[in-house]
Amino acid sequence: MADPVREQKVGSLTVFSNHPVLDQFARDMLAGIRAENLPAARINLYVGIHRKFGPALFRRGLRLGLQTEHYFDENGRTMWRKPRPRRLLKQLLFYHLILDLSPANAPYYRWLPRFLRRRVLFGPHVFPCRPVPYRAGQRPPVFFGAINDRRAKILAGLPKDHCDLLSETYGTDLHKAICDSRGVVNIHFADGIYTEYPRLLSSYLAGKPVLSEKLGAELVEGRDYGTLGQDHTDHQLRTIFSSFCSGFAARHRLTDFLRRIAGP
C-alpha cells in the first residue's frame, strides 16, 4: 500500500511528501521558513520526484519538483538507479521546474533538448531564511537513518562515546534528541563521495555541526563539517557550525531560491 500524500503549508508555499524520511525533510524545510520571506506567487513543492503524488500534482500554481536521489557521486561513480528517459520526460510534463539537490547529477540530464534542460536546476537550496544559533549539547553525537551492513560496520568501529543510535525517530522526538547531543553523525548508505542534505538540514536546525565521512566538493572538511571518528572540543564544534551557518547555509536559503524562480 502506497504511503499517503502529506500536505504542509506556510504562506504561499505548499509542500507535498509521501514517505517518512521525505516527510521529515519537508517538515525541516518548512521549519526554517517565515511566510513574509516567501514570494507572493503560489508555489507547490513536491519532495522526491521518484515518488507518486496523484491528484496533488494538478494543484494550481508553480509546480517545483525536488529531486533527492544520487545518480552519481562526486567522481562520476554510478550510485542509485537512474530513471528511464521516458520517466523524466513525463516528470517534466508535470513540473514547471525540477531542483536537483546534487550538482554531481548534471551528466544524467545532458541528453535532454536545451529548452528542457533549462528547466532542471541544481543546488541544495533548502536551508532556513534566518541564521540558526549554535546550541551546545552534553550527550554524544547521534546517528539516525536506516542501518545497512556498511553503516553497521563503520558504527561498530566508533568509540562508544562518539555516537548514539536512533531508529525510527522523527519529528519533535528527533529534533529533541539532536538538540541534546553534541552533533550529528553522517555515514553514507553506499560507498561514494556525496552529501545527504536532509541530514545536514536536521542537524543545522538543532544548532549542531555534522561529523561525517567525506562529503561533496561544495563542502570543505574541517570548515563546514567535522571528521568522523575524530575527537572535537566544544570550541571546534562551535567554530565548524558558525562557519557553515555564515557560509554555506546562508548561500543556500530556500526562500532566496524561491524568490529567484517565482519573483518577489
How many other CB atoms are there within 10 angstroms of residue 220's CB atom?
A: 13
- Residue 237 sits at the vertex; the CA angle it makes with 37 and 219, to the nearest 5 degrees, is 60
How many other CB atoms are there within 10 angstroms of residue 134's CB atom?
A: 18
- Which cell goes with 234? 566544544
Q: Which residues pair with 17 in a beta bridge?
A: 6
Taking the C-alpha atoms of residue 68 and residue 53, their distance in angstroms, rounded to an integer, is: 15
Domains of the chain, CATH where assigned: 6-127+252-262 (3.40.50), 142-250 (no CATH)
Does residue 147 contact residue 169 with C-beta atoms inside 8 Å?
A: no
Burial of 155 (0-12, 13-18, 19+ CB in 10 A): middle
Looking at residue 55, what DSSP letter applies?
Answer: G
Count of residues for the chain? 264
| Tens place of pLDDT per residue across the chain (264 aa) | 568 999 999 999 999 999 999 999 999 999 999 999 999 999 999 999 999 999 999 999 999 999 999 999 999 999 988 889 999 999 998 999 999 999 999 999 999 999 999 999 999 999 999 999 999 999 999 999 889 999 999 999 998 777 888 877 788 889 999 999 999 999 999 999 999 999 999 999 999 999 999 999 999 999 999 999 999 999 999 999 999 999 999 999 999 999 999 988
Q: At what angle do helices 197-205 and 20-31 cross, to 10 degrees?
A: 50
**Three-state SS for 181?**
strand
